[in-house]
Amino acid sequence: MAMTLDVNGKPLAVKAAPDTPLLWVLRDELQLTGTKYGCGVAQCGACTVMVDGQAVRSCVTPIEAVAASKITTIEGLGGQHPLQQAWVKHDVPQCGYCQSGQIMSAAALLGANAKPTDADIDAAMDGNICRCGTYQRVRAAIKDAAAMPAPAAAPAAAPAKA
Amino acid sequence: MNAPVNKKAIAGATRRDVVIGASLVGGALVVGACSPGDLLSIGAKEDFGAFGPFIKIAPDGVVTVVSKHIEFGQGNHAGLAAIVAEELDADWSKVRVEQAPAIAKVYANTGMGVQGTGGSSAISNSWDQLRKAGASARAMFVEAAANKWSVPAGEIAVKDGVLTHASGKSAGFGELVADAAKATPPATPTLKDPKTFTLIGTDRVRRKDAQAKSDGTAKFTQDVQLPNMLIAMVAHAPKFGAKVASFDAAEAKKVPGVVEVYQIPSGVAVVAETTWAAKQGREALKVTWNEDEAEKRSSDAILARYKELASGKAQPADKEKWQAFESKGDIATVKGEAFEAAYDFPFLAHATMEPMNCVAQAGGGKAKLTFGSQIPTIDQLNTAKIVGMLPGAVEIETLFAGGSFGRRANFQSDYVAECVEIAKKVGKDRPVKLVWTREDDMAAGYFRPIAHHTVRVTLDKDGYPASWRQRVVTQTLMKGSPMGQPKLDETAVEGTLGSPYLKATPIVDAQLIQPDSGVPVLWWRSVGATHTAYVMEHTIDQLAKKAGKDPVEYRRALYTKAGANRHLAVLNLAAEKAGWTTPAPAGWTRGVAVHESFGSVVAQIAEVKLDGGVPKVGRVVTAIDCGTAISPDQIASQMEGGTCYGLSAAMFGQITLKDGVVEQGNFDSYRVLRNSEAPTVETYIVASGNAPSGVGEPGTPVIGPAVANALLTLTGQPTLSQPFVKA
């Protein structure tokens, strides 16, 4: 049974079964491979995408749960989002594998809270593991991005899902 | 992988590296009069341009540096490119990096004799090679311009990819590349005086992959999509050494998308059209295992035997033997009161963010691997054995890898061989992507082995060590080397071996024993130093306390006695920057540790407090002597990351086995450091004119003892086992 997902502002038809995790549909079927598999059980955050502006672990989110939602992946940020600029400026990535998830969690944070405190960053970013240990640069880049002018094409932070 | 423990060793191939290179040849091919690299490259396609295997220059002036080393976080691609760009006088903004193919003959690690990344050696082994390559290409451009302009070569200047002459003539690399390609490379290119470096050592040397790794376009093995590609998952035995007894694939084959099920040496493989189908297919598979030859012990039982061996309660088995190292003087003459301590370290998983995976194609007399290959030559060799072809003809396209920390380098190429076995079954050159889940990865072994140390030290009248007895019990990492076990497995004792504290001690009796087990073990970022640094540094603070001396002053005296000037320099720099002689901020307690590994010396001073009984680490001042600093920013990055990796293990890391079964599966049971638990690391680099030494690993082993030493000051108690926070 075909389903249509709204991914990065485009309606995309998918063939996968409704209970298939969004992660594997994005990666295997829609070829949006910026979103990574890291744990499969919402422990590491590498698969983080935004669903209606909120950070969601796509590895445990069946596509039937997001059929009516706006999904934003790392590809949807466009490459020059203030967070992405800050990430490059601070040379945050090392191996880079977790960084899509880090940036999507940070994007959801800034979407809801333009000037996060350290405690806000802790709460938003503790779900994203980085084994290379880029944590202090992640924090610095988020603070830097928060100080930049708001992006014209940033995904709007929608109200929390009902 | 491991690396030299001292300066002498870093200058050339280490004995262990030579063993690796020689063993590949000895194990696989007839040893001839040529190098391992030559032999292992038979069948390889070699097609390089005028500037050699490391440099390509395009008509638009873009310089591409070909990296023989994989980039999995270390920042080596930035450093390698900077070495070339410096000698070439290239425009850094027009320098790109691409990954070399697998050809041991030209891309061998000069310290290993085979193509591979490890031992924090990417920069150090490339230093001379890439300086010469860059200088040679520069000379070719100068010759081309001199001919074209009819001016003496000595009057031509090169800066930022542009050649100029006082007459006003000027041309960029792009305009001159066709002529330069026809010039004769100099036999001995003239290298720059390091005092004239304009790029190396500056903050302009930044990562070339930060954008791709921030916008999702950086390509990892996980992301490979090829026409007609199948996805494979493998059911592995729950115990190490168990074999497939029988299996029933009927239900697995009913899962939509599942294509076939195969028995392979490492288990039962389900191949499917999608990852999700492969996973569901594997869940529907029924396998029974023959555990006759499986390792059935618990990790507690393994450690208990190590303790009995060290204490003398148990006698070594037939194949086990105590081996002395660093020993001198007569320990039997030692009398009087002694300080004694025993330390325990658990199995550790590398737990890279990208679980192990590989893409392989086999059939029609060809084999191709597309993945993050850490030791391409070994991966070629193990693939060649399976498919029956020359190792050099196995094509490898190396991608970014989502971390390794040593995991992707082992003598068996475990997950690579598994993928090749499946691709061989599938055949017809059809691509197969092997995907391991986090649980597969966690349970697959290749752990940092359990280690147990005992230390017994007597002090002289001034409070410094008069005698030092140490016993080390840990499994060897060298099993599977086709040349057999080295005389002394340095990977087990490096850091105790070569310690300035032992040098400063008149009587030393240090011995190693290495019981075997069925659990595969492996180098884990900083290797032997993961336990030796802790034992040496935490012991020293306990001795200083016993002697009533300040731990920094105590170290200074010992380093002075040992002539360990680099240790002294990093210690002094860290102490100055941390304000060691001033009170720590309210609520915080400082701890210090210093350790040399991979040719570099690192000192750290950590500020620590207890938060609900759990250590919290705040500011960490780091000083490093890594020889010539090519990219100060990436050195800092590695100190930050290495500190987090070491702290994660010291605080939380532990793999346990219950009756042979790994008890951890995912990050809910294998706890790792998270953002709010990460310290803020400040890095200071000692100015040095020496050749570059390691950076990727030396930042890892120092934080554990620095924190333990702060806790010793705070609580008065030593911390004798890791992890600090028990599950």
- Given CB atoms, is B79 within the 8 Å cutoff of chain A? no
| Residue of A135, A138, A142 to mutate when probing chain B, most B C-beta within 10 A | A135
Alpha-carbon distance of A118 to B136, in angstroms, equals 51
* 8 Å CB contact of B402 and A139: no
Question: What pLDDT is recorded for position B262?
Answer: 98
* 8 Å CB contact of B438 and A41: yes
Q: Which of residues 389-408 of B touch A (CB under 8 A)?
A: 400-403, 405
* 8 Å CB contact of A99 and B213: yes
Specify the residue for token string 């350790």.
B595
Chain A residues near residue B212 by CB distance under 8 angstroms? 96
Question: Which of A36, A38, A135 is opposite residue B675, by nearest beta carbon?
Answer: A135
Q: β-strands B162-165, B156-159: how paired?
A: antiparallel
Query: If residue B270 lies in a helix (H) or strand (E), which one and from where to where?
Result: strand B267-272
CA-angle at B130, arms to B126 and B132, nearest 5°: 125
Alpha-carbon distance of B537 to B481, in angstroms, equals 31
Chain A residues near residue B256 by CB distance under 8 angstroms? 17
Min Cα distance B708 → chain A (Å) is 20
Taking the CA atoms of chain B, what radius of gyration do you get in angstroms?
27
Q: pLDDT of B318-352, one tens digit each?
A: 999 999 999 999 999 999 999 999 999 999 999 99
Specify the residue for token string 């009587």.
B507
- Name the token pair of A99: 């960084």
Q: Which of residues 346-385 of B touch A (CB under 8 A)?
A: 351-355
* 8 Å CB contact of A93 and B213: yes
Alpha-carbon distance of B374 to B569, in angstroms, equals 34
B/e letters for B543-571, b = 16+ CB within 10 Å, e = fewer, are: bbbebebebbebbbbbbeebebebbbbbb
Q: How many CB atoms lie within 10 A of CB B431?
A: 20
**Cβ-contact A93, B209 below 8 angstroms:** yes
Alpha-carbon distance of A145 to A140, in angstroms, equals 9
Residue A11 sits at φ, ψ, to 5 deg, of -75, 125
Q: Which of residues 533-562 of B touch A (CB under 8 A)?
A: none
Min Cα distance A128 → chain B (Å) is 7
* 8 Å CB contact of A122 and B223: no
Question: Which of A77, A131, A136 is opposite residue B353, by nearest beta carbon?
Answer: A131
- Given CB atoms, is A35 within the 8 Å cutoff of chain B? yes
Taking the CA atoms of chain A, what radius of gyration do you get in angstroms?
15
The DSSP secondary-structure symbol of A29 reads I
Amino acid (1-letter code) at residue A133: G
* 8 Å CB contact of A133 and B645: yes
Q: How far is CA B227 from the centre of its chain?
A: 34
- Given CB atoms, is A11 within the 8 Å cutoff of chain B? no
Q: Which of residues 645-664 of B touch A (CB under 8 A)?
A: 645, 648
Q: β-strands B432-435, B230-235: how paired?
A: parallel
Which class for B719: exposed (0-12), middle (13-18), buried (19 or more C-beta within 10 A)?
A: buried
**Cβ-contact B706, B679 below 8 angstroms:** no
What does each C-alpha distance from B381 to B26, B126, B394, B504 come to in angstroms? 12, 23, 8, 45
Question: What pLDDT is recorded for position A148?
Answer: 86
Question: Which of A94, A103, A130 is opposite residue B75, by nearest beta carbon?
Answer: A94
Chain A residues near residue B443 by CB distance under 8 angstroms? none
Question: What pLDDT is recorded for position B38?
Answer: 75
Amino acid (1-letter code) at residue B673: L
* 8 Å CB contact of B210 and A132: no
Question: What pLDDT is recorded for position B481?
Answer: 81
Chain A residues near residue B216 by CB distance under 8 angstroms? 32-35, 73-75, 100
* 8 Å CB contact of A38 and B438: yes
- Given CB atoms, is A57 within the 8 Å cutoff of chain B? no
**Cβ-contact A107, A143 below 8 angstroms:** no
Question: What pLDDT is recorded for position B495?
Answer: 98
* 8 Å CB contact of B355 and A37: yes
Question: What pLDDT is recorded for position B480?
Answer: 85
- Given CB atoms, is A59 within the 8 Å cutoff of chain B? no
The DSSP secondary-structure symbol of B196 reads G
Alpha-carbon distance of A115 to A109, in angstroms, equals 9
In sequence order, the 6+-apart residues with CB closer than 8 A to the CB of A77 are: A83, A84, A103, A104, A107, A154, A155, B215
* Regions of chain B short of the pLDDT cut 70: 1-36, 482-483
* 8 Å CB contact of B641 and A99: no
- Given CB atoms, is B98 within the 8 Å cutoff of chain A? no
- Given CB atoms, is B619 within the 8 Å cutoff of chain A? no
Chain A residues near residue B697 by CB distance under 8 angstroms? none
- Provide the β-strand partners of residue B397: B370
Q: pLDDT of B560-598, one tens digit each?
A: 999 999 999 999 999 999 999 999 999 999 999 999 999
Residue A117 sits at φ, ψ, to 5 deg, of -85, 175
* 8 Å CB contact of A96 and B215: no
Single pTM value for the model: 0.95
**Cβ-contact B637, B662 below 8 angstroms:** no
Alpha-carbon distance of B112 to B15, in angstroms, equals 9
Q: Which of residues 432-461 of B touch A (CB under 8 A)?
A: 435, 437-438
Q: Which of residues 661-680 of B touch A (CB under 8 A)?
A: 666-668, 672-676, 678-680
Alpha-carbon distance of B696 to B473, in angstroms, equals 26
What does each C-alpha distance from A30 to A8, B367, B437 come to in angstroms? 12, 28, 21
How would DSSP label each residue in B60-122? T--EEEEESS--SSS-HHHHHHHHHHHHHT--GGGEEEEE--S-HHHH--TTTSSS---TT-H
**Cβ-contact B192, B128 below 8 angstroms:** no
* 8 Å CB contact of A131 and B645: yes
- Given CB atoms, is B262 within the 8 Å cutoff of chain A? no
Min Cα distance A59 → chain B (Å) is 11
**Helix axes of B632-652 and A135-147: crossing angle, nearest 10 degrees:** 120
Alpha-carbon distance of B67 to B50, in angstroms, equals 17
- Given CB atoms, is B495 within the 8 Å cutoff of chain A? no
Amino acid (1-letter code) at residue B340: E
Q: Which of residues 63-122 of A touch B (CB under 8 A)?
A: 73-75, 77-79, 84, 87-88, 91-100, 103, 121-122
Question: What pLDDT is recorded for position B34?
Answer: 52
SS (H, E, C) B281-316: HHHHCEEEEECCCCCCCCHHHHHHHHHHHHHCCCCC
Min Cα distance B217 → chain A (Å) is 6
Query: If residue B125 lies in a helix (H) or strand (E), which one and from where to where?
Result: helix B122-149
* 8 Å CB contact of B666 and A20: no
- Given CB atoms, is B207 within the 8 Å cutoff of chain A? yes
* Regions of chain A short of the pLDDT cut 70: 1, 150-162
Residue B500 sits at φ, ψ, to 5 deg, of -65, -25
Q: Which value does ipTM take for this structure?
A: 0.94
Our CA dihedral for B522, B526, B528, B532, rounded to 10 degrees, sits at -140
**Cβ-contact B495, B389 below 8 angstroms:** no
**Cβ-contact B515, B473 below 8 angstroms:** yes
Min Cα distance A149 → chain B (Å) is 19
- Given CB atoms, is A7 within the 8 Å cutoff of chain B? no
Question: What pLDDT is recorded for position B485?
Answer: 81
* 8 Å CB contact of A132 and B403: yes
Q: pLDDT of B448-479, one tens digit each?
A: 999 999 999 999 999 999 999 999 999 999 99
Alpha-carbon distance of B513 to B453, in angstroms, equals 11
Alpha-carbon distance of B702 to B564, in angstroms, equals 17
Question: What pLDDT is recorded for position B9?
Answer: 31
Chain B residues near residue A33 by CB distance under 8 angstroms? 216, 219, 222-223, 225
Question: What pLDDT is recorded for position A1?
Answer: 61
* 8 Å CB contact of A136 and B402: no
In sequence order, the 6+-apart residues with CB closer than 8 A to the CB of B173 are: B57, B61, B63, B90, B141, B161, B162, B163, B180
Residue B467 sits at φ, ψ, to 5 deg, of -145, 150
